[in-house]
Amino acid sequence: GESVGLHLPTLSVQEGDNSIINCAYSNSASDYFIWYKQESGKGPQFIIDIRSNMDKRQGQRVTVLLNKTVKHLSLQIAATQPGDSAVYFCAESMDTGRRALTFGSGTRLQVQP
């Protein structure tokens, strides 16, 4: 399931450190944002989402921050673990009567033991 061939930006962190993965989105009318994690050989897995009426949302070990002014989204992972190694995608959508997600190209997170 990895995007082999794409020149994905790669973030390399030490186990136990915090990770921050960034995403710039394109549509100022987007009102919903979601982060997915994709491990090798698997489909994307939901991590956390946020609506445009919020600027921060926390989950278990993860936090998503939304800055609508500069159209920027970030995913923070606390105490990164080897199992967090994967490609992370952000996606955006807007309410046009039906929902369709537009995905970014992804960031590869490598966790060093």
Residues forming the site for other proteins (CB under 8 A): 1, 3-6, 32, 34, 36, 41-46, 49, 89, 91, 93, 98-106
Q: Which is nearer to other proteins, 31 or 78 (CB)?
A: 31
Q: How far is it, in rounded angstroms, from Cα 93 to Cα 103? A: 9
Beta carbons of 19 and 84 less than 8 angstroms apart: yes
**Nearest-approach distance from CB 84 to other proteins, in angstroms:** 18
Measuring CA to CA, how many Å separate 73 from each of 15, 76, 98?
23, 10, 23
Q: Which of 92, 89, 76 is nearest to 33 (CA)?
A: 92
